[in-house]
């Protein structure tokens, strides 16, 4: 298991996988033939989501960009076609992860396309938002970053299982988390205080949602292994990248960027670990792991807590059922 130190981050020195912080998404997917694969990328209209979608299309995959802003998503599609070529297979579907109704509608529309599903990349998210509730009455960062993806994944899981059985090709689910999962509330997930505005802390709430991403991946991985399904589930930290995700904390982010600029990645580097987890042949059969800079890395103790993961699964299921 890789140890990611400051020296490695600064120099881009490759880890055991042969890749490091300076590796780009194109480099990590070089030589991969994805023409038989169909992938959904949430938040694929901008930032590292767009770069992920572009590189998947570049390698031949049929990519479905799932995005809240259809205009931006269609512009992203045109940009990919211009870069990759008009024969690239890229579709766009509306998805607002803060609304469980929108998630359900997306899954229904995707199912109606009648296409397979090999790869699900749960990339979209919000960061450091002021306190607000989603359309379903759930704190927005938890609702968008975790619960929307939890529900989406569950709705698409049968399609992924069917595809894996019919094709014999391993399905892969990638949850984008963050190293800031270590900066959650003391108890990790505040099951009894998810919507408590008085004690809300924007950065700890973000950390909580990113911790939830890893716990979700680990519990789903365990369940799929138990079932014998040919699907892996892993979580990744993309790195520090200045994207639209920072829009609620521009001043804070710019100060942090000024103080730690040597540690920040560009967008092609930021999408590398996602594409590594989604495409690289060396990860066949690897599941329930956490990756930084395209190398396996230990997540926090809370993120590896099996009891906490099971409790979060049950809690999330109850939230979805109550909202439905």
Respond yes or no: is residue 200 known to be catalytic: yes
Pairwise CA distance, residues 254 & 124, whole Å: 21
How large is the angle between the packed helices 148-167 and 100-113, nearest 10 degrees? 20
Q: Are 39 and 262 in contact (CB under 8 A)?
A: no
Q: Are 184 and 158 in contact (CB under 8 A)?
A: no
Buried residues in 105-125 as b, exposed as e (16+ CB within 10 A): ebbeebeeeeebbbbbbbbbb
Sign of CA dihedral 103, 176, 47, 207: positive
Among residues 7, 19, 151, 200, the one annotated as catalytic is 200
Pairwise CA distance, residues 234 & 291, whole Å: 8
How far, CA to CA in Å, does 259 sit from each of 12, 182, 237, 267?
19, 20, 20, 19
Which residues have CB under 8 Å from 2's CB, separation 6+? 15, 16, 17, 292, 293, 295, 296, 297
Residues with a known catalytic role: 200
């Amino acid at each position: 298991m890789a140890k990611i130190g400051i020296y490695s981050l600064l120099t881009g020195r490759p880890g055991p996988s042969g890749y490091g912080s300076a590796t780009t998404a194109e480099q990590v997917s070089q030589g991969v033939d994805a023409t038989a694969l169909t992938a959904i990328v949430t938040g694929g209209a901008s930032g590292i989501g767009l770069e992920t979608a572009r590189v998947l299309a570049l390698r031949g995959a049929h990519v479905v960009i799932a995005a809240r802003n259809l205009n931006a998503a269609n512009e992203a599609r045109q940009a990919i076609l211009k870069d990759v070529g008009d024969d690239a297979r890229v579709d766009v579907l509306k998805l607002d992860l803060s609304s469980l109704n929108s998630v359900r509608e997306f899954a229904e529309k995707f199912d109606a396309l009648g296409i397979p599903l090999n790869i699900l990349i749960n990339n979209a998210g919000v960061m450091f938002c002021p306190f607000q509730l989603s359309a379903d009455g759930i704190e927005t960062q938890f609702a968008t970053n975790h619960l929307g993806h939890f529900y989406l994944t569950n709705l698409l899981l049968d399609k992924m299982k069917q595809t894996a059985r019919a094709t014999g090709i391993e399905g892969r689910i990638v949850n984008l988390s963050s190293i800031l999962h270590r900066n959650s509330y003391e108890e990790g997930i505040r099951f009894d205080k998810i919507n408590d505005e008085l004690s809300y802390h924007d950065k700890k709430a973000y950390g909580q949602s990113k911790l939830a991403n890893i716990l979700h991946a680990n519990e789903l991985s365990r369940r799929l292994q138990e079932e014998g399904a040919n699907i892996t589930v892993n979580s990744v930290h993309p790195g520090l990248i200045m994207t639209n995700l920072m829009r609620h904390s521009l001043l804070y982010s710019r100060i942090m960027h000024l103080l730690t600029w040597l540690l920040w990645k560009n967008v092609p580097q930021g999408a590398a670990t996602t594409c590594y987890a989604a495409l690289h042949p060396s990860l066949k059969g690897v599941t329930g792991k956490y990756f930084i800079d395209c190398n396996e890395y230990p997540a926090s103790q809370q993120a590896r807590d099996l009891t906490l993961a099971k409790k979060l699964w049950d809690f999330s299921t109850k939230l979805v059922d109550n909202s439905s």
